[in-house]
Chains A and B, each alone.
Chain A
Amino acid sequence: MGRFLLKRILQGAIVVIGVTVVVFVVTRLIGDPVRVMLPLEATAEQRAAFAAQLGFDRPIHVQFFDFIGSALRFDFGNSLWQDRPALEIVLEALPRTLLLVGASMVLAVIIAVPLGILTSLKPGGFLDRLLVTLSLTGLSMPNFWLGLLLIVIFGVQLQIFPIFGSGTLMHAVLPAVTFALPSAARLVMLTRSAMIDELNKSYVALVKAKNVPFRRLVGAHAFRNAAVPVMTMTGWEIIRALAGYSVVVETVFAWPGLGFLAIQSITRQDLILLQAIVFVVALMIITINILMDVAYKYIDPRIKLT
């Protein structure tokens, strides 16, 4: 266990350094940070002064080691847009994203697991076909569009929920549902197929023969085994939400989390803030990955960690 953790943390560290290197290469070598961050009408003197102020005029290898070093110390510099430490801004937005993602994953699991179990009991039946069709349709919708549809229906037509910003708990409902629905659709399909697999296994016949009530057979025996892939998938859904969907969904609802902040940092031409966001998100994803691996061990003792 200890060796496994050490190995995974080392792997994680490689990824974090990799992310930092890629960000450096893209922003400093492919793009010109001075041109990106200053308005087009800036004079040559302004550009030179700006470059000197942020150290872009130094040799590239000096910049590189400085960049890596300060990233590992969580020192990204001041955001150009808000003129305060970028990390501070990121850490303010982070809980809002975590709240949204957390709430939506709870919602997705609550919706998906019972439905997935229900459909698995009668594959090919009416309910099964209906839910599979619904899930496929739901998965085909782009999530920004799903969000906008919810805004049109529940915000504009029915006027039940506020549609932009954050503030009250009501503000979180529509964005959380937008996150949750596609995840729920994927989880329904997965729970269904995992349960069908389990119910066809021979131990189920034994349990049946022992006259165990059907409800107990499904809940206590089959689902306990099917839960492993379902939990893996939920972990992946969280990662997906943090690493990608949050940008789109939060922008649709102007929810002031990390994703919306990333888009704002691009429109405000604030590369420093964007770098801080990418670094923090990468760190979170790696942490979740490691936690997932450890959680396996506890759910399924057959799994050996190497």
Chain B
Amino acid sequence: MAQTVAAPGIATPGITRRFAGVVGELWKDKAGFFGLLVMSTLILVAIAAPILAPHDPAAQSLSARLDPPFWLEGGSLEHPLGTDNLGRDVLSRIIFGSRVSLIVGLGVVAIAGTVGTVLGLLAGYNGGRVDSLIMRWLDTQLAFPGLLLYLVILSVVRPSLLVLIVILPINAWMVYALLVRGVVLSAKETPYVEAAEIVGARPKRIIFRHILPNLAAPLLTLAVLEFASAILAEAALSFLGLGIQPPEMSWGLDVAIGREYVFNAWWLVTFPGIAIALTVLGANLFASWLRIVADPHEREKRFAAGVSMTGGRGA
């Protein structure tokens, strides 16, 4: 019980110092920093979309149809990234489209993460019949053609933002459950959990106090990666016409609109696609940095590598 005493008074300065340390470490890893930059930009842009967007993203203008980006002949700074077939401003649509990506990403991660973590904890901690039931279910569902399941559902349910957030976790929860179960199984074997059990700690306390902290780092990393795949899934479904429906806005939908004009207006497919790719790349880079920084073993390796690379004494 001793460890619970070390609390509030010392924690605050420790956290600020730790935060400063994290930022400093992040700056050293340029790729990870870029990832964090992209993700914070996405959040800022999504929140401040009405202020940032130069035009109403839905405003049509017959006189300004298919205007090219400003650096091409016929383009102007009025529409920096050009306009689409109805004269709508591409840049403004990308800015507003970020909202859908962010909401879908967060919503799917929240639902799938919660369900997957709870089931993974149940399976890993209880073992026995619960475990084999959940694992059987997982094995069966893993062999299931995921996207086709979405297609079947979307063929009978009218697609919308809410529908996407509800159906995407149907497949997405599995990775969380597998990860959590694995971590719990290995944490259960550690001496400190065994000690807690011997002392007579209740299962609830063991799970929340001793096992969950082990999960924080890998779960956070997985959540960032899954955030990216939810965005990709939304974009793909919207592109296929089975996701966000017009007049709502989404990057994938805009690529689909631009597809009709690949011959004379390449910018319509290009820019929303760059927005998707950049967001996903940012999340991937941020996640791979998180994975290394949050894992003590990886940190050690990296430190050792840093010492030997600078011609140091360590190696």
Q: List residues of A whose CB falls within 8 A of some B CB.
A: 11-12, 14-15, 18-19, 22-23, 26-27, 30-33, 36, 124, 136-137, 139-145, 148-149, 151-152, 155-156, 242-244, 247-248, 251-252, 262-263, 265-267, 269, 271, 274-275, 277-278, 281-282, 285-286, 289
Contact = CB atoms under 8 A, between A and B. Distances in A.
B137 to A, nearest CB: 10
Contact of B147 (A140, A148, A244): A244
B269 interface: yes
Contacts, number: 143
A140 B236 CA distance: 13
B177 interface: no
Contacts of B284: 136, 139-140
B266 A282 contact: no
B262 interface: yes
Contact of A142 (B152, B157, B232, B241): B232
Contacts of A274: 151-152, 155
Contacts of B305: 124
A149 B266 CA distance: 9
B166 to A, nearest CB: 12
Which of A36, A242, A244, A289 has the most C-beta atoms of chain B within 10 angstroms of its own C-beta? A244
24 contacts: A12-B143, A15-B144, A19-B144, A27-B152, A33-B156, A137-B281, A140-B278, A140-B280, A141-B280, A144-B252, A148-B262, A149-B273, A152-B266, A243-B146, A244-B147, A248-B236, A248-B239, A248-B240, A266-B155, A269-B155, A278-B152, A281-B145, A281-B148, A282-B148
B36 interface: no
A138 to B, nearest CB: 9
Nearest to B234: A142
Nearest to A258: B148
Contacts of B154: 266
Contacts of A271: 155-156
B156 A27 contact: yes
A262 B236 contact: no
Contacts of A144: 235-236, 239-240, 252, 255
Nearest to A252: B259
Nearest to B155: A266
Nearest to B231: A142
B276 interface: yes
Given A156-B263, A244-B147, 18 more contacts: A11-B143, A26-B156, A31-B156, A124-B305, A140-B228, A140-B277, A140-B278, A141-B276, A142-B252, A143-B236, A144-B255, A149-B270, A152-B270, A248-B240, A266-B155, A274-B152, A275-B152, A282-B144
B130 interface: no
Contacts of A141: 273, 276-277, 280
A262 B156 contact: no
B285 A148 contact: no
B102 interface: no
Contacts of B255: 142, 144-145, 148
A145 B277 contact: yes
Contacts of B285: 136
Please indicate which of the listed interface residues B145, B236, B258 has the most CB atoms of chain A within 10 Å of its own CB: B145
A159 B144 CA distance: 39
A263 B262 CA distance: 21
A19 B269 CA distance: 35
B289 to A, nearest CB: 12
For chain B, the bracket of interface size reads 35 or more
Given A148-B255, A152-B262, A285-B145, A31 B155 contact: yes
B307 interface: no
B302 to A, nearest CB: 12
B140 interface: yes
A36 B156 contact: yes
Contact of A289 (B143, B155, B258, B269): B143
Nearest to B280: A140
Contacts of A22: 144, 149, 152
A152 B145 contact: no
A259 to B, nearest CB: 9
B281 A136 contact: yes
A205 to B, nearest CB: 18
B232 A36 contact: no
A155 B232 CA distance: 25
B106 interface: no
Q: Could you say which of B152, B240, B284 has the most chain A C-beta atoms within 10 Å of its C-beta?
A: B152
A248 B243 CA distance: 13
Nearest to B236: A248
Nearest to A28: B156
B239 A244 contact: no
A278 B103 CA distance: 29
B278 to A, nearest CB: 8
Nearest to B171: A244
A26 B157 CA distance: 9
A240 B262 CA distance: 28
A247 B270 CA distance: 21
Nearest to B281: A140
Nearest to A283: B145
Given A140-B280, A156-B262, A274-B152, A244 B273 contact: no
Nearest to B266: A152
B230 interface: no
B242 interface: yes
B151 A247 contact: yes
A243 B281 contact: no
A157 to B, nearest CB: 8
B286 to A, nearest CB: 12
Nearest to B137: A18
